[in-house]
Structure formats: structure tokens, C-alpha cells
């Protein structure tokens, strides 16, 4: 069939999910939270990677949900799963032992090294915003093979020169604390925002602009980023989702529009 592209907005969940799904080519095991990552993994299974396996921090491995999961602890993920492990086993034996290839993370702030803030905006003692905190992200970042971050905003507040707080550190920050404590994982490899796809090729390197979404320029992205962001040698335009990808998301994956608004 000839591929026809959809015109959904680059800021739409459909667009972000489709771009995220394409990052999963060749990956075996993904550690994902609820929401967009779930859509991306489900879409990847139906398109680029039928064998990709999802592991949830609730302990569920090899889920075969009969319905769309609302949350990582949804009973539909348990019924018919291949395994439900205790959290000591999931975090210790599966994640920390290195069985997870890709971790999907969100964040309120990300810096040039791919360190994440999910804890506080403003002062730690009396924050202007108390964010949800570390959750499992502080474990996923060092122990997953690589992490993909999806941001709903792209502005200097979300991509600042300095984080208000570092919840889940890049290997760069681990290296600064102690070169011998650099974790096994690469840290953030890819950041998907409403404007661009950033990549971090070097484990101890910086993020760089790799793809720019249709209708935007490298300068637009630069202007919206809180630091002098690097630019890859060969910046491409981000491939739009196909009509089929959008159809799958809307008509087969999230039929009740739980995450697609």
C-alpha cells in the first residue's frame, strides 16, 4: 500500500505517539508508564516491532490486556499476563540487573545532559509547584539501556539551562559525582517534544537537534530552548505519522479517547 501521511498537528498526542513508536525498532523490552508511552508501545507492536515486550513497574511482565489500561496497575494488565513479580524482584532482578532496553520517561524539566526534574519547581523547601517526585524514574534512568523522554511542552521553562532540582540524573552528573559511579545505562538517548526530536549520541555528551517537526525551523527550536543547544550535522524534518498510524491509535488502540484528547 502507498503510504499517505496524516496532517495531525506536531503537538498532538497522535504525532508524539507515532514518533515515539518508531524509536522502538529492534528493542526487546520496554519499561513504560501509563499514557503516551503505552500508546507508543501498542502502536509499535502493530507496526515496526510486533515482538516488543512491555514491563510495568507494578511487576507485570508480558501483559496481554483485553482493554486499554488506565494506569500501570490496571487489572486488565494482570489478567492473562505471563508473570506478575513482586516489586523487589521487578526493580532488583529485572530493572537493576539490566533486562530493560528502553525506559519511557516524562519530566517537567530536562537539561542539556538529559537529567530530569520531576520533583520541584522553585525552591525545594517551599516550592511554587510540588511535582510528583521520583517514582521509578530514578531507577529507570541508570538501569535501562537507554531512556526516551516525551515532553508536552517545548520552552525555556521545560528545557532550562539549570534544573530547579535533579531527580533522575544523566550519566554526566553521576560522572561528576564520581567517575566510577557512572551507571550501566546510556541515560536519555532521545527527547520528543512538540517541536523536535533531540538525540544524545554520546553517553557523556549533550543533546542535539536531530529532527525538526514540519513547519518549524532549527532556529525556532533554538529560540525555545533554555541553553545554546547543539545541532546535528544532518538535521531532517520529522516524518509525519501515516494515516494508518493515526487510524490505529484512534480506532483500535485508544477507542475510548482516554489519552487522545
The tally of CA atoms less than 13 A away on the side-chain side of residue 250 is: 14
CB of 35 to other proteins, least distance (A): 9
Is 162 a binding residue for other proteins by CB under 8 A? The answer is: no
Minimal distance, residue 22 CB to other proteins, in Å: 18
106 binds other proteins (CB under 8 A): no
CA distance to 6, 9, 50, 122, 202, per residue, from 108 (Å): 28, 22, 31, 12, 23
Q: Confirm or reject binding of residue 72 to other proteins (CB under 8 A).
A: yes
For cell 539501556, the residue is 145
Stretch that binds other proteins, among 134-142, 202-210, 222-230, 240-248 (CB under 8 A): 134-142
Is residue 87 a contact point for other proteins (CB under 8 A)? yes
| Nearest one of 38, 36, 44, 27 to 60, comparing CA atoms | 38
Q: Does 177 bind other proteins (CB under 8 A)?
A: yes
Catalytic residue among 14, 53, 57, 211: 57
Q: Rule CB under 8 A: is residue 103 a binding residue for other proteins?
A: no
Span interacting with other proteins, options 12-20, 138-146, 190-198, 203-211, rule CB under 8 A: 138-146
To the nearest whole angstrom, how small is the minimum distance from the Cβ of residue 71 to other proteins? 4
**Of residues 41, 97, 96, the one with CA closest to residue 65:** 41
Check if 139 is active-site.
Answer: no
**Which one, 34 or 239, has the nearer CB to other proteins?**
34
Task: Name the grid cell of 145.
Answer: 539501556
- Catalytic residues, by residue number, are 57
Amino acid at each position: 500500500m502507498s503510504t499517505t501521511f496524516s496532517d495531525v498537528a506536531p503537538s498532538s498526542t497522535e504525532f508524539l505517539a507515532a514518533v515515539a513508536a518508531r524509536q522502538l525498532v529492534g528493542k526487546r523490552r520496554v519499561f513504560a508508564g501509563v499514557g503516551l508511552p503505552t500508546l507508543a508501545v501498542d502502536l509499535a507492536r502493530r507496526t515496526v516491532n510486533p515482538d516488543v515486550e512491555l514491563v510495568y513497574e507494578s511487576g507485570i511482565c508480558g501483559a496481554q490486556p483485553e482493554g486499554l489500561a488506565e494506569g500501570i496497575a490496571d487489572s486488565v494488565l494482570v489478567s492473562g499476563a505471563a508473570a506478575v513479580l513482586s516489586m523487589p524482584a521487578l526493580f532488583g532482578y529485572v530493572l537493576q540487573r539490566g533486562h530493560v532496553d528502553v525506559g519511557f520517561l516524562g519530566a517537567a524539566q530536562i537539561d542539556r545532559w538529559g537529567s530530569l526534574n520531576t520533583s520541584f519547581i522553585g525552591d525545594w523547601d517551599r516550592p511554587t509547584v510540588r511535582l510528583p517526585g521520583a517514582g521509578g524514574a530514578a531507577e529507570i534512568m541508570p538501569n535501562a539501556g537507554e531512556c526516551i523522554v516525551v515532553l508536552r511542552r517545548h520552552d525555556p521553562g521545560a528545557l532550562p539551562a539549570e534544573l530547579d532540582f535533579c531527580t533522575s540524573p544523566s550519566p554526566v552528573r553521576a560522572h561528576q559525582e564520581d567517575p566510577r559511579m557512572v551507571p550501566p545505562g546510556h541515560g536519555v538517548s532521545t527527547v520528543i517534544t512538540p517541536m523536535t526530536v533531540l538525540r544524545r549520541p554520546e553517553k557523556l555528551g549533550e543533546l542535539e537537534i536531530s529532527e525538526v517537526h514540519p513547519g518549524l525551523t532549527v532556529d525556532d527550536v533554538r529560540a525555545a530552548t533554555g541553553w545554546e543547544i547543539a545541532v546535528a550535522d544532518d538535521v531532517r524534518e520529522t516524518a509525519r505519522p501515516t494515516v494508518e498510524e493515526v487510524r490505529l491509535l484512534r480506532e483500535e488502540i485508544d477507542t475510548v479517547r482516554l489519552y487522545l484528547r
